[in-house]
Structure 1
Amino acid sequence: MAAREDPDPIELHLCHRCLMRLPVDAGGVDLPRRVREALKAHGLADKTLLIPASCLGHCPTGKVTVLVVPDATARGTHAKLIDPKEDGEDLARHLDARLAPKAGPP
């Protein structure tokens, strides 16, 4: 019987330029640490990989762009705008909702 491989981690590319454009009181420089803490609190630390990225080309005012790459096929890749004041909780909730088992016939 072959050993089951762990699934690819969900890649989370966090836009560095967005972080630098945030007001100082938003704590952009510290946001990656806070996002990691939120992912860990939601049990997502082992399922995700937070990767710093240069500019992702979408510069929302007061938000940070995260490119979410679900697996190695890159199917379902999408951008998620997160609020730095939520300390990554909004991203963790977004991932929780996407990873929740779909209800369907037994």
Structure 2
Amino acid sequence: MDTDSAITALAALAQGTRLDAFRLLVRHEPEGLPAGEIAKALDVPQNTMSAHLAALTRAGLLKSERQSRSIIYCADLDALRALTLFLVKDCCAGKPELCAPLVAELVPCC
């Protein structure tokens, strides 16, 4: 991931509804959720949610697939991984013990 892509992804997540939607979709991996269910779960009007989902998709954080009349959104876990690695790439400055707590926190979930 390059700096511009990281900035775009972080900017997309720097809004409460979009962050909530992304976290909701991460919890519903790998099946994802239809846009209407995301809007309902977050108590956001569907047209507003559509704009938020479009912003997350443009930032490369979501994937979508049309199934009949619904669009199913999924978190792009590869993009999340790339963003996380970009953020922590140089975190230990050659001292792995500094990053050990962070790595320990990330590893158990996966």
Q: State the TM-score, normalized to the length of structure 2.
A: 0.28
Structure number with larger C-alpha Rg: 2
Q: Which structure features the higher share of helix residues? A: 2
Q: Which structure features the higher share of strand residues? A: 1
Q: State the TM-score, normalized to the length of structure 1.
A: 0.29
